[in-house]
């Protein structure tokens, strides 16, 4: 076969002029546009799939440090006292109706803000712990991130929390209120800066409201500004645990008071509590916090076993609708 590639023999070699002019003038066949689009789409999907696969193997603490922050921690009262030099007045940054705000230094050298909240209502440590677990997952450019907490209980009532210390990332440029009141700082806030701050606040509120976190306490002195004048909401909250969730965490009698009166005396408390808890988990706003179907079935079967054991021990008079196992 005649070609322009042979370098061992001239038997099938085309002439030099043909290879330089006529052969090079021939264009390769045009690729089908649909095939090319399909190829590009396949490459893009492959890249996206690879990224998702990598992110799926990133540990949770590493994901939470994407803002350059340490993982969330639960501190002791001793650590809070060490961080603030026993809450020395010289470290007091601000004070409001909700409590005091101190500047502190953790043992690793990190500079933080410590908010001291005196509780006016009785709360169990368990309910507050659940409350803080939700807050700990909030990470947004326009929110002051919560880095940890410490729950202190009454010495004579260890089942009731008295104080909560909330550890926040340090935002060192002061509040929006300071910048608007102080004429030296106010001069820095031109119209473009003020618009950017307003947009930042709006984005922070949108993030909170999108997740159903409607209890943010928006005041001008709760808006902090970092070195680049990025607005960060420093006081935000979530809806307090529902009455049902608090009943689970506080005492059996409160949960019993909430059920249908016709059911009283017919159930084992552990069986009822298990079903209620898995139901609450199924209603979690965050899809990642919801149990799998297998997990739901396991808890339901466990609840049935507890109930049957309680019934067979003579706690239930009469046969109420037969064997519960046959109902699942």
> How far is 43 from 49, CA to CA, in rounded Å?
10
Considering the candidates 88, 217, 257, 286, report the single residue annotated as catalytic. Answer: 217
Cβ atoms < 10 Å from Cβ of 191:
7
CA gyration radius, the chain: 32
pTM over 0.85: no
Q: Which tokens go with 126?
A: 């368990």
Q: Which residue has the tokens 């997952």?
A: 137
Q: What is the predicted pLDDT for the residue at 138?
A: 82
**Average pLDDT for runs of 10 along the chain of length 328:** 55 59 53 53 47 41 50 92 94 79 91 88 78 81 92 86 90 88 83 84 80 63 90 71 56 67 76 81 79 78 81 57 39
- The Cα diameter of the chain in Å comes to 107
Other Cβ atoms less than 10 A from the Cβ of 281: the count is 14
Output the pLDDT for position 315.
Answer: 64
Q: Is residue 217 annotated as a catalytic residue, yes or no?
A: yes
3-state SS class at 211: coil
**Using H for helix, E for strand and C for coil, what is the string for 77-102?**
HHHHHHHCCCCCHHHEEEEECCEEEE
Per domain, the residue ranges of the chain are 73-233, 243-327
Instruction: Please enumerate in sequence order all residues whose Cβ is within 8 A of that of 150, keeping only pairs 6 or more positions apart, or say none.
Output: 74, 75, 76, 77, 79, 80, 164, 165, 167
Tokens 């699942």 identify what position? 328
Q: What is the pLDDT of residue 58?
A: 38
d(CA 239, CA 212): 8
3-state SS class at 29: coil
pLDDT at 9: 55
Whole-number pLDDT of residue 162? 85
Which stretches of 11-100 are DSSP H helices? 16-17, 33-56, 60-64, 77-83
Q: Report pLDDT for 19.
A: 62
Say which residues have a Cβ less than 8 Å from residue 141's Cβ, sequence separation at least 6: 67, 200, 203, 204, 230, 232
Cβ-contact 270, 248 below 8 angstroms: no
CATH superfamily of 73-233: Transferase(Phosphotransferase) domain 1 (1.10.510.10)
DSSP states of 240-309 as a string? PPPHHHHHHHH-HHHHHHHS-GGGTTSS-HHHHHHHHHHHHHHT-SSGGGSPPHHHHHHHHHHHHHHHHH
């Amino acid at each position: 076969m005649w070609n322009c590639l042979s370098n061992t023999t001239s038997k099938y070699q085309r002439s030099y002029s043909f290879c330089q002019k006529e052969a090079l003038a021939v264009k390769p066949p045009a690729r089908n546009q649909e095939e090319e689009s399909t190829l590009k789409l396949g490459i893009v999907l492959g890249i996206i799939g690879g990224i998702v696969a990598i992110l799926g193997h990133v540990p949770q603490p590493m994901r939470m440090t994407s803002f350059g922050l340490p993982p969330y921690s639960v501190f002791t009262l001793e650590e809070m006292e060490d961080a603030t030099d026993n809450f020395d007045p010289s470290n007091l940054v601000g004070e409001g109706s909700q409590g005091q705000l101190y500047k502190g230094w953790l043992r690793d050298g990190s500079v933080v803000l410590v908010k001291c909240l005196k509780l006016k209502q009785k709360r169990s440590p368990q309910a507050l712990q659940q409350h803080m677990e939700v807050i700990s997952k909030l990470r947004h450019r326009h929110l002051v991130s919560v880095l940890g907490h410490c729950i202190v209980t009454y010495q004579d009532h260890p089942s009731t929390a008295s104080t909560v210390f909330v550890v926040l990332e340090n935002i060192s440029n002061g509040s929006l209120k300071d910048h608007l009141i102080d004429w030296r700082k106010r001069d820095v806030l031109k119209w473009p800066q003020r618009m950017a701050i307003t947009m930042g606040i709006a984005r922070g509120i949108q993030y909170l409201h999108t997740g159903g976190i409607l209890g943010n306490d928006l005041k001008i002195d709760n808006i902090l500004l970092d070195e680049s004048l990025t607005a960060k909401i420093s006081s935000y909250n979530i809806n307090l645990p529902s009455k049902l969730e608090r009943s689970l965490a506080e005492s059996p009698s409160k949960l019993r008071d909430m059920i249908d009166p016709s059911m009283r005396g017919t159930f084992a408390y552990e069986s009822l509590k298990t079903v209620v808890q898995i139901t609450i988990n199924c209603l979690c706003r965050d899809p990642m916090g919801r149990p799998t179907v297998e997990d739901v079935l396991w808890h339901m079967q466990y609840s049935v076993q507890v109930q049957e054991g309680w019934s067979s021990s003579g706690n239930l008079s009469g046969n109420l609708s037969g064997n519960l196992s046959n109902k699942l």
